[in-house]
C-alpha cells in the first residue's frame, strides 16, 4: 500500500538533504547500500541516487499510472524570502506559495504525460499486470525570484531560476510492490553567463526544462529494460 503523502514528504526532504549535503558527498560509503524496504543501491552520482529491488525489471510495463506530484519548498525558504533584500520577496503570501506548488504539480503531470505518451507509453488509471505506478514528489524547491500577485511592474534579475529535487517511487500496480526509488537534484543553469528578468514565464520554462530531463530519464529506463529483455 502506498504510504501517506504528508509523512513521506517529511522523510523525503530529510533524506535528500542528507544525501546531497557537502559532508555526505565526501563520504559516499555512508550512503546506505540497502534501504529498509530491501532495495539495493544501483547508481550514485553527485546529484542522484537510485535504489532498485534485486532482480526487478521495467520491461513488462506498457502503461503508466501517474500519481499527482506532492510539492514542498526548501526548509525555511519562505522565511529566507521574507528576509531577502528584495521588496517583492517580502510580499509573498500563503496564497502565492500555494499557487506555486499547484502550478508546479500541474506542470509535472503535463510534461511527464506528454513525454511518456510520445514515447508510446499509455497513461492510465487502471490496475493491471502491465501497469507501473509512478509516485513523484518534488522537495527542496528553491525559487530564487518568485513572481507574486498584484505587485506592479517591479523586475528582479537572476542568474538561475533556482533548483529542486525529485523523489520518485515506482510500484508494480498488480502487487503494490516497490521496485525502484530515485532521488535527483537539478538546478537551473540557463543563465550562468548573464542575468535575466525572472517572472512566471521564465520560471515555468526553467521548471519545464528540468521536468523534461527527468521524464526523458524515465522513458530511457523503460526503453532500455525492454531492449535488454529482447536481446
- What tens digit of pLDDT does each residue of 26-85 get? 445 567 888 888 898 888 887 888 899 998 899 999 999 999 999 998 887 777 776 664
Radius of gyration over every alpha carbon of the chain, rounded to an integer in angstroms: 19
pLDDT digits (tens, 9 = 90+) for 97-131: 898 899 999 999 999 999 999 999 999 999 999 99
C-alpha neighbours within 13 Å on the C-beta side of residue 209: 15
Question: Which whole number is the average pLDDT over 204-218?
Answer: 91
Task: Give, for 222, the enclosing helix (H) or strand (E).
Answer: helix 200-230
Total structural domains within the chain: 1
DSSP three-state, residue 46: coil
In total, the chain counts a number of residues equal to: 231
Q: Where are the beta strands (DSSP E) in 144-222?
A: 156-158, 162-172, 177-187, 196-198
Is the model more confident about 119 or about 204?
Answer: 119
Which of 11-20, 29-38, 99-108, 201-210 is predicted most confidently? 99-108
* Sign of the dihedral through C-alpha 75, 79, 84, 88: positive
170 vs 226 pLDDT, higher one: 170
Rounded CA gap, 22 and 49, in Å? Answer: 15
How far, in Å, CA of 185 to CA of 163, rounded?
7
- Percent residues over pLDDT 90 in the chain: 39
% of the chain with per-residue pLDDT over 70: 68
H or E segment and range at residue 190: none
Question: pLDDT grade, residue 12 (50/70/90)?
Answer: very low
Which residue has better confidence, 124 or 22?
Answer: 124
pLDDT at residue 8 is higher than 60: no
- pLDDT the model gives residue 76: 79
The residue range of the domain holding 48 is 5-230
Q: What is the pLDDT of residue 9?
A: 41
- Residue 125 cell numbers, joined: 488509471
Looking at per-residue pLDDT, the higher value among 40 and 195 belongs to: 40
If pLDDT is split at 50, 70 and 90, which confidence band does 153 have? very low
Predicted TM-score (pTM) of this structure? 0.79
Q: How many CA atoms lie within 13 A of 182 on its CB side?
A: 22
Please give the grid coordinates belonging to residue 106: 500541474
Q: Which residues lie below 8 Å from residue 13, measured CB to CB, with a gap of 6+?
A: 72, 75, 139, 140
Cβ neighbour number for residue 178 with a 10 Å cutoff: 22
pLDDT the model gives residue 102: 92
Amino acid at each position: 500500500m502506498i504510504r501517506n503523502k504528508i509523512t513521506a514528504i517529511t522523510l523525503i526532504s530529510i533524506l535528500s538533504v542528507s544525501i546531497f549535503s557537502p559532508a555526505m558527498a565526501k563520504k559516499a560509503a555512508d550512503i546506505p547500500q540497502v534501504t529498509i524496504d530491501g532495495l539495493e543501491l544501483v547508481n550514485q552520482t553527485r546529484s542522484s541516487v537510485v535504489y532498485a529491488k534485486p532482480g526487478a525489471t521495467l520491461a513488462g510495463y506498457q502503461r503508466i499510472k501517474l500519481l499527482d506530484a506532492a510539492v514542498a519548498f526548501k526548509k525555511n525558504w519562505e522565511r529566507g524570502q521574507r528576509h531577502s533584500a528584495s521588496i517583492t520577496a517580502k510580499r509573498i503570501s500563503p496564497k502565492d506559495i500555494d499557487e506555486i506548488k499547484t502550478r508546479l504539480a500541474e506542470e509535472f503531470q503535463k510534461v511527464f504525460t506528454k513525454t511518456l505518451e510520445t514515447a508510446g507509453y499509455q497513461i492510465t488509471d487502471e490496475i493491471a499486470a502491465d501497469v507501473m505506478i509512478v509516485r513523484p514528489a518534488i522537495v527542496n524547491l528553491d525559487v530564487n525570484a518568485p513572481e507574486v500577485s498584484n505587485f506592479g511592474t517591479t523586475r528582479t534579475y537572476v542568474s538561475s531560476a533556482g533548483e529542486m529535487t525529485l523523489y520518485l517511487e515506482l510500484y508494480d500496480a498488480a502487487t503494490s510492490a516497490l521496485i525502484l526509488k530515485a532521488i535527483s537534484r537539478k538546478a537551473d543553469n540557463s543563465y550562468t553567463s548573464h542575468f535575466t528578468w525572472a517572472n512566471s514565464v521564465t520560471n515555468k520554462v526553467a521548471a519545464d526544462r528540468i521536468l523534461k530531463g527527468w521524464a526523458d530519464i524515465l522513458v530511457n529506463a523503460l526503453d532500455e529494460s525492454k531492449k535488454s529483455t529482447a536481446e
